[in-house]
Amino acid sequence: MMNDPEQNFRIEDIRIKNMTLINIIVFIISMILFLLFTVLGVAILIHQRKPFRAEYNLIGLITLPLLNMIAHELIHAFTYIILSKGSFKDFEFGFNLKKMIAYCYLKKDVSIRSYRLIALMPLFILLPAGVIIFLIFPGPATSIFLVISLTGPVFDIYYTVKIRNFKLDSLIRETKEQDHLFVLIPETGISNEITG
């Protein structure tokens, strides 16, 4: 915890320890889910007597994960722009190979209420979309899209859970490293944290 003298905020640092290890575990879980959904998808195709289109699945296995990652980060950005009247210049997009994450770094502070929605919106949009696409076009390609939609927001969910005990007048300040963020709690003489 540290103080920001310019704004009279108490600052809490929320960190993700062992981000690379967590990513490896999530990758293993994702591969297991991918195999299960692929078997289920092929079983659905057999049951419905639909042909398995290998060429579409091969193309989809390459393109759908990339499209999912890009859509995920753009959904963060568009949600911020809508909620906070911001712009794309407030963001830096990238991919960190060392930490194995795509990121959408927000350069400005944002309210906790807005941050929660910004963080979870890709899950709210891409997971239902992934389920619908999988049910319409079952197979390996749509299985991987569904799995990435489910496991991709793991750190978004983590941060949302970690900030749940702070009052809504607090602000969130992201870091470019994406392995921690700051909660800026206004100093009012009364504790702004909800105990729990």
Mind listing the pLDDT tens digit for each residue in 167-177?
888 999 998 88
> pTM, whole model, 2 decimals?
0.82
DSSP letter assigned to residue 90: G
Total count of domains within the chain: 1
Asked if residue 98 belongs to a domain, the reply is yes
Asked if residue 39 belongs to a domain, the reply is yes
pLDDT-derived band at 4, boundaries 50, 70, 90: very low
Asked if residue 156 belongs to a domain, the reply is yes
Give the residue, 102 or 123, on which the prediction is more confident. Answer: 123
DSSP letter assigned to residue 15: E
Asked if residue 196 belongs to a domain, the reply is no
pLDDT for 54:
75
Using DSSP, state whether 73 is helix, strand or coil.
helix
C-alpha 43/C-alpha 8 separation (Å) is: 60
Highest average pLDDT, of 25-39, 40-54, 90-104, 178-192, comes from 25-39
Instruction: List all residues 6 or more positions away from 71 whose beta carbon is below 8 Å from its beta carbon.
Output: 122, 125, 126
Asked if pLDDT for residue 9 goes beyond 70, the answer is: yes
Asked if pLDDT for residue 104 goes beyond 50, the answer is: yes
Candidates 25, 45, 50; CA nearest to 143 is 45
H-helix or E-strand spanning residue 43: helix 19-48
Asked if residue 80 belongs to a domain, the reply is yes
pLDDT-derived band at 193, boundaries 50, 70, 90: very low
Mean residue pLDDT across the chain? 87
Asked if residue 134 belongs to a domain, the reply is yes
Asked if residue 195 belongs to a domain, the reply is no
Instruction: List all residues 6 or more positions away from 31 whose beta carbon is below 8 Å from its beta carbon.
Output: none
Strand partners, 96: 101
Residue 48: which domain range?
2-186
Asked if residue 194 belongs to a domain, the reply is no
Give the residue, 194 or 60, on which the prediction is more confident. Answer: 60
